[in-house]
A = this chain, B = another copy of it.
Amino acid sequence: MTFPKTVLNKVNRIPDRGRYDKETIYPIIDEALICHVGFTENDQPFVIPTLHARDGDTLILHGAKASRMIKHVSDGNPVCIAITHVDGIVFARSVFHHSINYRSAVIFGHGKLIKKADEKMRALEVLTEHIAKGRWYDARLPNQKELAATSVARIEIESAAAKIRSGVPKDDKEDYDLPIWAGVLPIAPQYHSSLNDPVLAPNLMPPDYVVNYTRQKKTAT
C-alpha cells in the first residue's frame, strides 16, 4: 500500500529519494528506538524526542499524565513525527556534494487518548515489546496506580513519506580527477555489553534479547 502524495508528505527536494509505500516506511519506523514529535501550541512549534511503537497503521506514544506533549497529542491536534537513521557520512571531492546517507520517515496524523483499560494495557505491551521483544513477559506488569499515572495515545498514520540516500559520493564530472579523497564513512548504532544493576538480586543473568540485542527489521503488516 502506498500513501498518496499530498502537500504534506510530498518530497520536493531530490524527489528521487522519496518513497511512499508502507513496505519502505514501516521498517524505518520499527527499527528506530525513538522518534521526534512535532506539534504546535499558539503558533509556537515544539519538537520532543520520545519512545514510539508502531501498531499496524498507527503509532503509540506515551507519557506522564501531566506531559505537555502527550496532552497535546491526545487532544487530537495535528502532529508530525520524524524518524531518522544516519547510515554514514558521504565525503565528496567538492564541499557542495558532501552528504549524509540516511533513511528517514516523516509521518502525519492526529492523536487520540486511549481510555479503555484493556486497550491501554495492550498499547503499553506494544511499546515495551518495541524496546525489546520478550520484555513484557519478563517484567513486572503495570499496576492500577501506574496505569493511572500514564497517558497513552494512538496516532493514525494518515500520511507518510520516507526519504533515503545511500551509496557513493556523486561529484561533478570535472572534479573526479582532483587529488581529493572521496568515500563513505559508515555509521551504525553499536550495542555494548549490558551492565547489571549494581544491586541486582543474585544469580540473575541478562536475557537473550539483551545479550543479543538487535533492532531487527519487522516486515510491514
Our pick among B36, B45, B131 for the contact of A78 (Cβ within 8 Å) is B45
Q: Which of A93-132 contact B (CB under 8 A)?
A: 93-96, 98, 100, 102, 104, 106, 108, 124, 128, 131-132
A141 surroundings in chain B (CB, below 8 A):
94-95
Which of these binds chain B: A16-24, A53-61, A182-190?
A182-190
**A182–B168 contact, CB under 8 A?**
no
**A192–B200 contact, CB under 8 A?**
no
21 residue pairs bridging A and B, Cβ less than 8 Å apart: A12-B67, A13-B67, A38-B46, A47-B47, A47-B80, A47-B81, A47-B82, A48-B82, A51-B100, A86-B189, A91-B139, A93-B140, A98-B139, A177-B201, A181-B205, A181-B206, A183-B196, A183-B206, A185-B210, A187-B189, A187-B190
